[in-house]
Amino acid sequence: MTTTGYSTRGADPTTAPAFLAPLDGQSTAVLPVVAELRAQGRARFAAVGLPTIKNEAWRYTNLRDLAKLAVTTASGDAPIDRLPTVRADGQNGPRLVFVDGRFRADLSTADGLPDGVLLTDFASACQNHSGLIAEHLGRLASAEDRPLVALNSADLTDGVVLRVATGVSVDAPIELVFVSVGRDGATTASHPRALIVLEAGARAVLVEHHVSQGDNATLSNHVAEITVGEGATLHHCKAQRENAASFHLSHIAASVAAGGCYDNFILTIGARLSRNEVVSALNGGDARTHVSGGYMVRGNQHADISTIIDHAQPNGTSREVYKGVIDDSARAAFQGKIIVRPHAQKTDGHQLNRALLLSDSAEIDAKPELEIHADDVKCSHGCTAGELDDAALFYLRARGIDKETARGLLIGAFLSDVLDEIAEAPIREAFQGFVAGWLEEQR
């Protein structure tokens, strides 16, 4: 028996009321499918609450500090100083901006997209494309075994809807910008949902930015449901650079049809606590998925990467590469599961996680898992944790390079090859800039 989900044993229902938005705050004029999903999510989350470390899937990530908080909402109308982008200066392109989870039409544009592309906010899509919502909402991300998906559904108000029609290729990166501003003296929560549908043969490049403006504590609890059609390709890159007071939780559920490709890269730099769940299911033959990322944490930060690659059909290929740098008393967790179902012969799956520990109190928990039910497959995994190479450090210093610069060179070198996993050059360069910025702060 194979499961892709998590048990909800080890969850704490007493934490639920503090996180569920009051019912009277929600608009009642919604699509039946949305109302139903909210009600289900609400009931589910009320029954289970936040997961605890007794839940196997949450063994390495403790939400204790989050559970102590009572969250409220922010208006989302704060003025925004500047927006992050992967575009060179002066260029404009398609972009949706959310402030504290609320769509901001004044900062967003769908200009520059070819015919056949729908890029809009959730509320507009409910009004104008209700069929699309009814067809895809709640189909991939299950609230049943994931309390935070349930919470996202319960408080669902805003989000992203992207559909790329059959055969349409979008060259310009589509940027999704999530700015957390919050409120002084409170912790505010947002629960954005993304519905992304690439029809057969479509191609798109999606870049997510998650940043804070100011120092307020916020909780962002994202859920993305991604359908990659036959022969379609989605490049999906995300940079999370929220402030050190924030909680960032994210669940991405992707389903890839025959010959399709889902490519995901997540750069984790910010947040007090972050967890990125990526579930990529190859539900058609000859499908590919590539999930990768870099995480760099220090101070008391905690970063969690939890992935499931589900090979359900034959001839699938998956490649998974993560690299992390952990300093001070920071901690990281990597859970990587590869499932090969009985029918998925000729699967080729590879997974690698490498962590660099920069201090004696830095920690990594790594749990690779292969669950193979087919006999003709190639699968491998590797996890390593190491320190900076003393010999290399001395070699650089013996050439006059000061200790901090030498460390920076070696840490940058460690991370450089994982950034090469990003196929699109402008995005790779922008992300390299984010990493360089982090290294600078280190000094």
Q: In the bound complex, what is the minimum distance in angstroms from residue 435's beta carbon to other proteins? A: 12
Complex with other proteins: residue 114 or 433, whichever CB lies closer = 433
Please tell me whether residue 403 binds other proteins under the rule CB under 8 A: yes
Segment 322 to 351, residues that bind other proteins, using CB under 8 A: none
- Which of these segments, 187-195, 236-244, 395-403, 426-434, binds other proteins (CB under 8 A)? 395-403
- Which of these segments, 61-69, 108-116, 209-217, 397-405, binds other proteins (CB under 8 A)? 397-405
Q: In the bound complex, what is the minimum distance in angstroms from residue 148's beta carbon to other proteins? A: 36
Q: In the bound complex, what is the minimum distance in angstroms from residue 327's beta carbon to other proteins? A: 18
Q: In the bound complex, what is the minimum distance in angstroms from residue 440's beta carbon to other proteins? A: 15
Please tell me whether residue 400 binds other proteins under the rule CB under 8 A: yes
Q: Is the dihedral of CA 399, 405, 411, 417 positive or negative?
A: negative
Please tell me whether residue 394 binds other proteins under the rule CB under 8 A: yes
Complex with other proteins: residue 18 or 388, whichever CB lies closer = 388
Please tell me whether residue 129 binds other proteins under the rule CB under 8 A: no
Binding other proteins (rule: CB under 8 A), the pick from 131, 399, 440, 441 is 399
Complex with other proteins: residue 139 or 403, whichever CB lies closer = 403
Please tell me whether residue 402 binds other proteins under the rule CB under 8 A: yes
- Which of these segments, 11-19, 77-85, 281-289, 414-422, binds other proteins (CB under 8 A)? 414-422
Please tell me whether residue 416 binds other proteins under the rule CB under 8 A: yes
Please tell me whether residue 401 binds other proteins under the rule CB under 8 A: yes
Please tell me whether residue 391 binds other proteins under the rule CB under 8 A: yes
Please tell me whether residue 397 binds other proteins under the rule CB under 8 A: yes
Binding other proteins (rule: CB under 8 A), the pick from 43, 106, 395, 437 is 395
- Which of these segments, 71-79, 344-352, 396-404, 432-440, binds other proteins (CB under 8 A)? 396-404
Please tell me whether residue 414 binds other proteins under the rule CB under 8 A: yes
Complex with other proteins: residue 234 or 267, whichever CB lies closer = 267
Which 3-state string (H, E, C) describes the chain? Answer: CCCCCCCCCCEEHHHCCCCCCCHHHCCCCCCHHHHHHHHHHHHHHHHHCEECCCCHHHCCCCCHHHHCCCEECCCCCCCCCCCCCCCCCCCCCCEEEEECCEECHHHCECCCCCCCEEEEEHHHHHHHCHHHHHHHCCCCCCCCCCHHHHHHHHCCCCEEEEEECCCCECCCCEEEEEEECCCCCCEEEECCEEEEEECCCCEEEEEEEEEECCCCCEEEEEEEEEEECCCCEEEEEEEEECCCCCEEEEEEEEEECCCCEEEEEEEECCCCEEEEEEEEEECCCCCEEEEEEEEEECCCCEEEEEEEEEECCCCCEEEEEEEEEECCCCEEEEEEEEEECCCCCCCEEEEEEEEEECCCCCEEEEEEEEEECCCCCEEEEEEEEECCCHHHHHHHHCCCCCHHHHHHHHHHHHHHHHHCCCCCHHHHHHHHHHHHHHHHHHC
Complex with other proteins: residue 398 or 425, whichever CB lies closer = 398
Please tell me whether residue 22 binds other proteins under the rule CB under 8 A: no
- Which of these segments, 42-50, 297-305, 403-411, 424-432, binds other proteins (CB under 8 A)? 403-411
Per-residue x/- marks for other proteins, 263-292, CB under 8 A? ------------------------------
Partners of 308 in beta bridges: 279, 337
- Which of these segments, 86-94, 157-165, 412-420, 428-436, binds other proteins (CB under 8 A)? 412-420
Distance separating alpha carbons of residues 205 and 223, to the nearest angstrom? 18
Please tell me whether residue 389 binds other proteins under the rule CB under 8 A: yes
Please tell me whether residue 436 binds other proteins under the rule CB under 8 A: no
Tell me how far CA of residue 14 lies from CA of 50, 95, 152, 219, in angstroms: 9, 39, 18, 18
Complex with other proteins: residue 184 or 390, whichever CB lies closer = 390
Residue 13: what are its φ and ψ, rounded to 5°? Answer: -60, -25
- Residues at the contact surface with other proteins, assessed by CB under 8 A: 389-392, 394-403, 405-406, 409-410, 412-414, 416-417
